[in-house]
């Protein structure tokens, strides 16, 4: 297990800027920190060997390791602002759609210390006030809307009522009722929590899993039928004289703000990023885009497993030296003197914001893809992962930690405990798989490393050939676009740059259109739409609509991102298939073994001569490697003019078979017949692709995640590394690439 885990407040920092480090003990008593540049993180004895470089920087010696823990669970918190103290008669009301009953007691709405509505361990709605608890004996129905009201009269009459809205087509909906008579007392609560209450330690607790829509508080006792009528006409509710607050979740949905539509404006904020822009009680399929009918998207889906900001206190802050070269670095935290147990807080030292470094090559550190996979549990939560791996799941130490600490927060590959998809992933928490040395589930037989650690095969190659480079992150690219890319001749990707925002895609396309050179050294790149939120730095949204290999769907009518309103899913379905940018697009995946490429006649084209210069390649290249034993594998892309591959693109080499674990992507599997597998379907292949652009630029795409694992074979002495180096040398030469006259696109 891990004696301590940690995170930094940023994944990208410039020289001279501060970086804060948050650490929690999980058994460690103390720790020491040092700074290291990460060169090559794979510890496979068949690989080039682990390599990092210590940076001489005093980080302050030994520190006490303090246990801080994880506190997942989302809710809404509304300060009372003095408007709750006069309550005697009242009605609390809301629409709710529970999605999980798991033996815990959860809260729907609470004025802590005064009144509360919740669902008990058996799934029955209860309400509490004045020391009395009412319970509806029938359990709620999962995934069904209910209207709940809880009223107290000035004389002490309590009424809890619940109607199940699936019965709404019947003539009369008879509410389930529970009543009592009590001695009223003044309200001492000064806040309202929705989907939680306050726990004994003062933190939000008792998190609800499910949707809540239009919660409201009235300063009088109302009948359930009146409540149901009022909630159904929410837009006119503000004229109701007894209304004290009514929270319209369909307002300001792209922010953390929760708006009270009453004249009191008891506004609040969400906590731990629940899913907004979700279909509400009144949604019946009338509209599929929340931007056109936000009133129908008045629900929030809360989860007891939501996480945004882990919120640990800062252990220490360092300032990155002005003269430290751009690169990938890690704060290495060694607990109790045991180097083997060190935790690595990895971050990118980007180039200075106000001046160029002189490097003409940039490595695009794919933080969006790292976030998408952050703390992923595919080999643990998804039984089919082992089928896709073609071998037994390996659980490294960080996986063992994840298994027993799910509160660290999920990746967008998981479902919440209620089975709904995880839309959000945040970097404001420890990301255990963003470390060197760690093994994974999907990296193929051999090194079995994935995302960041696999990308260090690229960093190690750059080091081995003595290439100077800057490191820029997805977030930098999102924020600065082509202004940042314009500093470089060449942009090199990681092995699996799968997730991109629109500004990132547009910047990269603008770069190659204007003469930039892109080396896409991976597979399944530029696949999913993701978005950031200006009100919530560090968190990313992904809604996997319709197609794509995906672990869940966002639910009917919920395909548009809450953060930006964009239609979620594949870039291919949003007018920007990856073939436009890099000539190839995702075609298949399998995580067992990889294959070589076979050269095609295009490899002999004079336009491609520079790629093979000095090499004596046979018909086959890359029949070796650390990622499944070949250069073509794990996730593979094909050239496809129908998806936008330029007509003049050269497919230099292709893999010609894969195991039957490799199957067709759903977006191409229009008619699922049994021949769509790796030993049968010609379309399942990796295409090594090159093309020039009208602006004098060029693109080289491997269409394979496994490529870098072959680059690292034999200490980077092999034809795959040599081909990649040839491409880099020519791409870094500012001479224009000319479009071929006979094969114009």
Partner 1 sequence: MSRYRIDRSDLAFAREFLADPIGYHSPGLQRVLNLMRGSGVAGAGEIPFKYVLVVEDRHGRWRLGRLPLRRGAPVELVEGVVYTDLIAAERDIFSRRWKDLTGDDLDQALSQP
**Contacting residues toward partner 1, per CB under 8 A:** 43-45, 377, 379-381, 383-384, 386-387, 390-397, 400, 403-406, 417, 437, 439, 445, 592-593, 659-661, 679
Sequence-separated (6 or more) residues with CB below 8 Å from residue 143:
97, 98, 99
CA distance linking residue 171 with residue 101, whole number of Å: 29
- The smaller minimum CB distance to partner 1, of residues 45 and 601, is found at 45
CA distance linking residue 114 with residue 150, whole number of Å: 13
Query: CB–CB of 630/624 below 8 Å?
Result: yes
Query: CB–CB of 528/548 below 8 Å?
Result: yes
CA distance linking residue 106 with residue 100, whole number of Å: 10
- The smaller minimum CB distance to partner 1, of residues 315 and 418, is found at 418
CB 391, min distance to partner 1, A: 6
Q: Exposure of 741 by Cβ count < 10 A (0-12 exposed, 13-18 middle, 19+ buried)?
A: exposed
CB 735, min distance to partner 1, A: 44
Query: CB–CB of 727/687 below 8 Å?
Result: no
CB 410, min distance to partner 1, A: 9
DSSP character at residue 602: G
- The smaller minimum CB distance to partner 1, of residues 447 and 501, is found at 447
CB 722, min distance to partner 1, A: 26
CB 387, min distance to partner 1, A: 5
Query: CB–CB of 141/166 below 8 Å?
Result: yes
CB 377, min distance to partner 1, A: 8
CB 530, min distance to partner 1, A: 24
- The smaller minimum CB distance to partner 1, of residues 407 and 510, is found at 407
Q: Which of 496, 444, 505, 454 is nearest to 478 (CA)?
A: 505
Q: What is the DSSP string of 121-184?
A: TTSEEEEEETTEEEEEEEEPPTT--EEEEEEE-TT-EEEEEEEEGGGTTSS--PPEEEEEE---
- The smaller minimum CB distance to partner 1, of residues 282 and 704, is found at 704
- The smaller minimum CB distance to partner 1, of residues 317 and 679, is found at 679
CB 519, min distance to partner 1, A: 29
- The smaller minimum CB distance to partner 1, of residues 80 and 629, is found at 629
CA distance linking residue 709 with residue 690, whole number of Å: 20
CB 651, min distance to partner 1, A: 25
CB 674, min distance to partner 1, A: 9
- The smaller minimum CB distance to partner 1, of residues 147 and 408, is found at 408
Q: Which of 632, 655, 653, 639 is nearest to 710 (CA)?
A: 632
Return the number of other C-beta atoms located less than 10 Å from residue 58's C-beta.
Answer: 8
Q: Which helix (H) or strand (E) holds 136?
A: strand 132-139
- The smaller minimum CB distance to partner 1, of residues 81 and 403, is found at 403
Cα 737 to Cα 357, 476, 514, 692, 730: the distances in Å are 25, 27, 11, 6, 10
Q: Which of 76, 101, 80 is nearest to 90 (CA)?
A: 80
- The smaller minimum CB distance to partner 1, of residues 377 and 514, is found at 377
């Amino acid at each position: 297990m891990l004696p301590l885990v940690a995170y930094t407040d940023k994944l990208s920092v410039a020289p001279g800027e501060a970086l804060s480090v948050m650490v929690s003990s999980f058994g460690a008593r103390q720790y020491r920190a040092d700074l290291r540049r990460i060169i090559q993180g794979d510890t496979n004895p068949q690989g080039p060997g682990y390599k990092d470089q210590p940076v001489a920087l005093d980080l302050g010696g030994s520190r006490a390791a303090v246990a801080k823990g994880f506190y997942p669970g989302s809710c809404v918190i509304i300060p009372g602002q003095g408007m709750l103290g006069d309550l005697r008669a009242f009605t609390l009301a809301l629409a709710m759609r529970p999605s999980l009953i798991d033996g815990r007691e959860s809260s729907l709405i609470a004025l802590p210390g005064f009144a509360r509505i919740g669902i008990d361990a058996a799934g029955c709605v209860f309400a509490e006030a004045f020391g009395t608890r009412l319970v509806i004996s029938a359990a709620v129905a999962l995934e069904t809307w209910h209207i709940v009201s809880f009223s107290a009269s000035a004389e002490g009459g309590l009424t809890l009522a619940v109607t199940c809205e699936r019965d709404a087509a019947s003539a009369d909906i008879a509410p389930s009722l529970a009543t009592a008579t009590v001695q009223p007392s003044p309200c001492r609560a000064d806040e309202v929590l929705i989907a939680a209450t306050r726990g004994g330690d003062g933190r939000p607790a008792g998190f609800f899993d499910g949707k809540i829509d239009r919660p409201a508080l009235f300063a009088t006792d109302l009948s359930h039928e009146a409540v149901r009528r009022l909630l159904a006409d929410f837009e006119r509710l503000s004229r109701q004289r007894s209304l004290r607050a009514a929270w319209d979740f369909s307002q300001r949905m792209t922010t953390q703000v929760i708006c009270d539509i009453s004249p009191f404006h008891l506004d609040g904020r969400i906590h731990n990023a629940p899913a907004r822009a979700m279909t509400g009680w009144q949604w019946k399929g009338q509209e599929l885009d929340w931007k056109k009918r936000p009133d129908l998207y008045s629900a929030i889906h809360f989860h007891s497993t939501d996480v945004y900001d882990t919120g640990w206190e800062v252990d220490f802050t360092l300032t990155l030296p002005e003269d430290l070269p751009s690169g990938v670095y890690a704060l290495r935290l060694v607990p109790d003197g045991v180097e083997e147990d060190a935790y690595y807080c990895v971050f990118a030292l980007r180039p200075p914001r106000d001046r160029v470094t002189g490097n003409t090559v940039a490595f695009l550190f794919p933080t969006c893809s790292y976030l998408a996979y952050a703390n992923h549990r595919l080999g643990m939560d998804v039984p089919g992962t082992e089928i896709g791996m073609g071998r037994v799941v390996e659980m490294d130490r960080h996986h063992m930690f994840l298994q027993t600490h799910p509160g660290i927060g999920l990746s967008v590959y998981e479902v919440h405990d209620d089975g709904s998809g995880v839309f959000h992933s945040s970097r404001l928490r420890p990301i255990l798989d963003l470390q060197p040395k760690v093994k994974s589930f999907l990296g193929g037989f051999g090194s079995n490393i994935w995302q960041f650690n696999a990308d260090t095969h690229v960093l190690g190659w750059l080091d081995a050939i003595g290439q100077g480079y800057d490191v820029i992150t997805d977030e930098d690219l999102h924020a600065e676009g082509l202004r940042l890319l314009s500093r470089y001749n060449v942009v090199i990707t990681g092995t699996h740059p799968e997730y991109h925002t629109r500004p990132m895609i547009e910047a990269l396309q603008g770069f190659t259109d204007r003469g930039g050179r892109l080396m896409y050294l991976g597979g399944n790149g530029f696949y999913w739409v993701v978005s950031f939120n200006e009100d919530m730095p560090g968190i990313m949204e992904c809604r996997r609509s319709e197609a794509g290999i995906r672990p869940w769907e966002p639910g009917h009518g919920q395909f548009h991102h809450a953060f930006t309103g964009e239609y979620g899913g594949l870039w291919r379905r949003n007018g920007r298939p990856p073939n436009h940018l890099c000539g190839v697009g995702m075609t298949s995946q399998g995580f067992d073994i990889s294959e070589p490429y076979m050269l095609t006649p295009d490899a002999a084209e004079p336009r491609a001569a520079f790629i093979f210069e000095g090499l004596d390649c046979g018909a086959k290249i890359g029949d070796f490697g650390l990622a499944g034993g070949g250069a073509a594998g794990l996730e593979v892309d094909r050239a496809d003019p129908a998806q936008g591959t330029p007509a003049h693109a050269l497919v230099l080499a292709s893999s010609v078979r894969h195991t039957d674990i490799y199957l067709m992507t759903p977006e191409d599997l229009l008619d699922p017949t049994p021949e769509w597998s790796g030993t049968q379907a010609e379309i399942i292949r990796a295409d090594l692709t090159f093309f020039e652009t009208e602006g004098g630029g060029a693109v080289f795409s491997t269409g394979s995640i496994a490529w870098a694992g072959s680059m690292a074979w034999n200490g980077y002495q092999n034809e795959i590394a040599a081909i990649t180096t040839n491409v880099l040398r020519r791409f870094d030469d500012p001479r224009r690439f000319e479009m071929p006259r006979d094969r114009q696109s």
